[in-house]
Amino acid sequence: MASSTRKKTVKKKTVVTKKTAPKSRASKSPAKKSSPEPVLKSKPSSFNLAARQFEKKNHAATASQPPAYENLGELPEAYGTKKMFLVCRDPHWAFAYWDLTWQQFQDAARSSVDGRVLLQVYSERGDRLQEIQIFDGTRNWYLHLNQPNHRFFAEIGFYNSDGKFEVICRSQTVSAPRDQASPDGNGRFVTIPMSFSFGALRDLIRNYMNDGESLAEALARLQEEGFEFPFPVSKGKRLSEDQMQDLMGYLGEGDLIRRIQMGSEEITEMLKRRFQEMQSSGQWKSSEWVTSLSSPFGGGKTRDFFMHVNAELIIYGGTDPKAKVRIDGSEIKLREDGTFSYHFVLPDGKFFIPIEATSPDEVETRSAMLSFLRCSDYAGDVKKTGQPPLPEPIGRTK
Amino acid sequence: MSFKPQGYLALVLHAHLPYVRHPEYEEFLEEDWFYEAITETYIPLLTVMDDLRRDRVEFRLTMSLTPSLCSMLLDPLLQDRYVRHLEKLLEFCRKEIDRTRLDAHLHELAWFYHQRLEHCRAVFVDRYQKNLITGFKQFQDEGFLEIITCGATHGYLPLMTEYPEAIRAQILVARDHYIECFGRPPRGIWLPECAYVPGLDKFLEEAEIRWFIVDSHGVLYANPRPPYGIYSPIVTPSGPVAFGRDIESSQQVWSAESGYPGDVDYREFYRDAGYDLEYDYVKPYIQSNGMRKFIGIKYHRITGRGGEKDLYRPAAAHEKAASHAGNFMFNREKQIEYLHRSTGVAPIVVSPYDAELYGHWWYEGPEFLNYLFRKTAYDQKTFKMITPSEYLHQHPTQPLSTPSASSWGSKGYWEVWLEGSNSWIYPHLHLAAGRMIEMARRFKDSYGLTERAIAQAARELLLAQSSDWAFIMKTGTMVPYAVKRTKDHLLRFNRLYEQIMGNQIDVDFLENCEWRSPLFPNINWRYYV
């Protein structure tokens, strides 16, 4: 079944390739069977004129005619919703943005007794922690609060002539995460069997849940109180103080902040490091990067100069389109007009490449013996190829 | 084979790519991410699992296959384009086999790639009829693999907390899509970027999702302090369980100084025929605008600092992968023995990684996993591999504690996705989320064209929310693409919103949006109500 499908596809594609260029959109590659020996027998499609034409056409088409609904304009600078957003992006820093139009900002500045519009940050209890003057181009602010495990809110407003702070917008109250282990070591255990859905568990204890109590909290409490469950409930095992110390020591708690910083980001670091290695070895040069990176190996400035050189061999020719041609003993496929063209790597050494053509009626042969000598001599650091600029790996490992 | 383990190892691979699909162009560079990941990661992983099953090796692996990735794997356009991509690479390999005749080592490598790509075609086309989801599903159904879900489009949930409906939609749309793909509900979720903030567990409870993973400090800084650190999961107030990422095993694979992937024998990612070879020769295989690109044929090994790169030797690299697998296993044995001895309970070591690390970036990664599974099954009696769901079946009693807000990004919190380069997106994303909720409520009983337009608006919003765009803006490559994607989806959303609210839906525009981004065909946008 699978193989018949494949055959079908192959057939179809062959037809397409032979036809006119525009129809070969689906695939530029000529279809081929999974021949185990494609050496020198593949269709040299880099010389397939149809394919080249297609490339150009495609390029032109997209350049002159963007797809429909491709350019939808720009997002507005502000919407004027007077919304204020505050979030703690880590234990020490918060980020705030506000959505005021230029006009709204000017109105506020005009109403202000001193012309100033202010961003104020408060602790949850309402103590003012910071006051920052904002300007009409400013739409967000990073705030160094440095109070892990605390709650905050922020306001934007101005002082009126009575000395009262008029609020234009106010954020929600938000929490900064902890930056160390909780001092509270008296947790409870709870048994939640996988064979019961959360819904089923809720149904079991619905009438015994307190207001605002969440599912696992209610289960833990009821399990402590000895409520009868249709599954075995276990108490859990606490560690002794010594065991706890042991474990914390093993985790290297003081070290943790440094160590948690490894993430997918680590890869980016690794890439940069590698890049620096290559920079310092002069393998590749890009003005953009070179200026921003210095050699990690110290000992003087790395010069930017570099050189790379390599050699390849192109053998090309032509004969009767129906003739058989062998290069180095292997039969090759000719283009429709009887010409052929092949690339070879040319390492240092001496090479003889015989080429032989046999006429279609197989009564006549012509041959050529090509001889090549490459012997390279380098002065200074000369590489075979240049190190390319470095696109990142895909996905999250970027 | 049967022994009482002193502890467990759960390997978790997060397979994710942003939804990149451009029917409006005949060729599109960023689609290569997907094609490369299939060739270098997804097919090699399936092959490893296939071989393990054939050899009757008991193994356990957990993978997230994100809804956006699944949508691409199921997409006929991308499936056909992948085949086209493969055919073209195979054609290139055949030319390479010719070109390298005068250099035995290069010639061997040209054959090596030809064979690998032929294998990819056999697996993709013949074995799975272009749908790799069936492959992964099969291993899940047979109990070797646990597949978990993710946010519908990998949205960064802690930055949506002011719009609970938006979080709810990311999770419930993902769950629904998972059921469509795998025929049963997901038991676990990979929170996008492992980003957790207290309260998220409530949404997971509603979705009947039983567990998720947070970075180490998410568990270590949980409140109250968890008694076993990261070596036992904790139950969140709503019931779903949080597993903490193990620090040691992460470092062994990720670390720049001591990580395995930097070994000199492994394949060098950055030396690629697309850049190395003579321009006219390689031109048909690079970008159609004539710019060079990576084409995935790489002939060098990492070699060492500076100097000329040596040619790659697959056999030597294989051996290195085997020895690294042995080293990884040995370290887990010692780690688990120690933890078992000092705490008296069987610890679980959870090692999560980006799936694309294995194969795409670390070319020998799938081979490493292959050896690791085999050695773990036959060469030791200290620990067993397990999936988190299996672990919870066996260990239903765990400490109750609220994980600390955390992510697995650089510095451990939100900074990667909220900093100078990308913070401009949030006012727009938030406004759109608010509009989506408003619209869903107002038109909750709608049908026909209005409903269709609202569904598409939801898709555009979800796509704009992908954390990938903010991530790319931060890391600095392909930035214009990420900016354009963010803006395009927001602009499409806003236009649809205005048309729906004004009762003037432009069918032509709607159809164009649907044609470009047809993911989640059965999306339930009423989650936003």
Give B226 to chain A, closest Cα distance, Å: 7
CB contact under 8 A, B278 and A79: no
Are B255 and A262 in contact, with CB atoms under 8 Å apart? yes
A310 vs A96, residue with greater confidence: A96
Of B357, B396, B411, the CB nearest to A397: B357
Where do the H-state alpha helices sit in chain A? 2-18, 49-64, 102-111, 198-205, 215-225, 241-251, 256-260, 264-280, 287-290
Residues 6+ apart with CB under 8 A from B424: none
ipTM: 0.94
pLDDT at A12 over 50: no
CB contact under 8 A, B413 and A89: yes
CB contact under 8 A, B251 and A262: yes
A175-184 residue pLDDT tens: 999 988 899 9
At A343 the pLDDT is 86
Distance CA(A295)–CA(A278), nearest Å, equals 10
A271-317 residue pLDDT tens: 444 444 443 333 333 333 322 223 333 334 456 788 888 898 888 89
Give the number of other Cβ atoms within 10 Å of residue A3's Cβ: 8
Distance CA(B374)–CA(B309), nearest Å, equals 32
If you average pLDDT over residues A90-94, what whole number do you get?
96
Q: Is B515 on the interface with A (CB under 8 A)?
A: no
pLDDT at A45 over 50: no
If you average pLDDT over residues A342-360, what whole number do you get?
90
CB contact under 8 A, B293 and A214: no
Which residues of chain B lie closer than 8 angstroms to A347, CB-CB? 102-103
B357-407 residue pLDDT tens: 999 989 999 999 999 999 999 999 999 999 999 999 999 999 999 999 999
Of A52, A69, A312, the CB nearest to B278: A312
107-146 in chain A: CB under 8 A from chain B: 139-140
B67-126 residue pLDDT tens: 999 999 999 999 999 999 999 999 999 999 999 999 999 999 999 999 999 999 999 999
Strand partners, A84: A98
* Phi and psi at residue A353, to the nearest 5°: -125, 105
At A256 the pLDDT is 52
40-79 in chain B: CB under 8 A from chain A: none
If you average pLDDT over residues A365-393, what whole number do you get?
80
At B493 the pLDDT is 98
Give B492 to chain A, closest Cα distance, Å: 8
At B320 the pLDDT is 96
Which residues of chain A lie closer than 8 angstroms to B305, CB-CB? 277, 281
Distance CA(A236)–CA(A362), nearest Å, equals 89
From B240, B65, B243, select the one nearest B145 (Cα to Cα): B65
At A255 the pLDDT is 55
A-B CB pairs within 8 A amount to 386
DSSP secondary structure string for all residues of B302-330: --SSSSPPPBP-HHHHHHHHHHHHHHHHH
Task: Please report, for chain B, how many H helices and E strands are present, in that order.
Answer: 20, 10
E strand or H helix at B511: helix B507-516
Are A251 and A240 in contact, with CB atoms under 8 Å apart? no
Q: Both tokens of residue A212?
A: 């605002």
CA distances from A292 to A271, A272, A279 (A): 15, 12, 11
* pTM of this structure: 0.86
Give A123 to chain B, closest Cα distance, Å: 19
* Phi and psi at residue A94, to the nearest 5°: -120, 160
Which residues of chain A lie closer than 8 angstroms to B399, CB-CB? 187-190, 236
Q: Both tokens of residue A155?
A: 């306001």
Q: Is B311 on the interface with A (CB under 8 A)?
A: no
Q: List the single best residue of A32, A69, A139, A219 to mutate versus B (max B Cβ within 10 A).
A: A69
CB contact under 8 A, B491 and A72: yes
If you average pLDDT over residues B218-225, what whole number do you get?
94
Percentage of residues in chain B having pLDDT higher than 70: 99
Are B234 and B403 in contact, with CB atoms under 8 Å apart? yes
Of B91, B289, B354, the CB nearest to A29: B91
Q: Is B138 on the interface with A (CB under 8 A)?
A: no
Q: Is A19 on the interface with B (CB under 8 A)?
A: no
Report the chain A residue with the minimal C-alpha distance to residue B485: A70
Burial (CB count <10 Å: 0-12, 13-18, 19+), residue A194:
middle
* Phi and psi at residue B127, to the nearest 5°: -75, -50
220-279 in chain A: CB under 8 A from chain B: 220, 231, 233-239, 243-244, 246-248, 250-251, 253, 256-257, 259-270, 273-274, 277-278
Which residues of chain B lie closer than 8 angstroms to A89, CB-CB? 413-415, 418
Which residues of chain B lie closer than 8 angstroms to A217, CB-CB? 237, 400
Are B207 and B187 in contact, with CB atoms under 8 Å apart? no
Angle at A33 between CA A29 and CA A39, to 5 degrees: 80
Are B144 and B59 in contact, with CB atoms under 8 Å apart? yes
Kindly indicate the confidence band of residue A24, based on its pLDDT and cuts at 50, 70 and 90: very low
Report the chain A residue with the minimal C-alpha distance to residue B84: A27
Angle at A200 between CA A194 and CA A202, to 5 degrees: 110
CA torsion A96-A101-A107-A113 (nearest 10°) is: 20
Cis peptide before B224 (omega within 30 of 0): yes
At A6 the pLDDT is 41
Kindly indicate the confidence band of residue B211, based on its pLDDT and cuts at 50, 70 and 90: very high
From B404, B249, B222, select the one nearest B339 (Cα to Cα): B249
Residues 6+ apart with CB under 8 A from A209: A215, A218
* Phi and psi at residue A381, to the nearest 5°: -85, 100
Which residues of chain B lie closer than 8 angstroms to A83, CB-CB? 427, 430-431
A9 vs B147, residue with greater confidence: B147
Report the chain A residue with the minimal C-alpha distance to residue B34: A394
A112-133 residue pLDDT tens: 999 999 999 999 999 999 999 9
Which residues of chain A lie closer than 8 angstroms to B428, CB-CB? 75
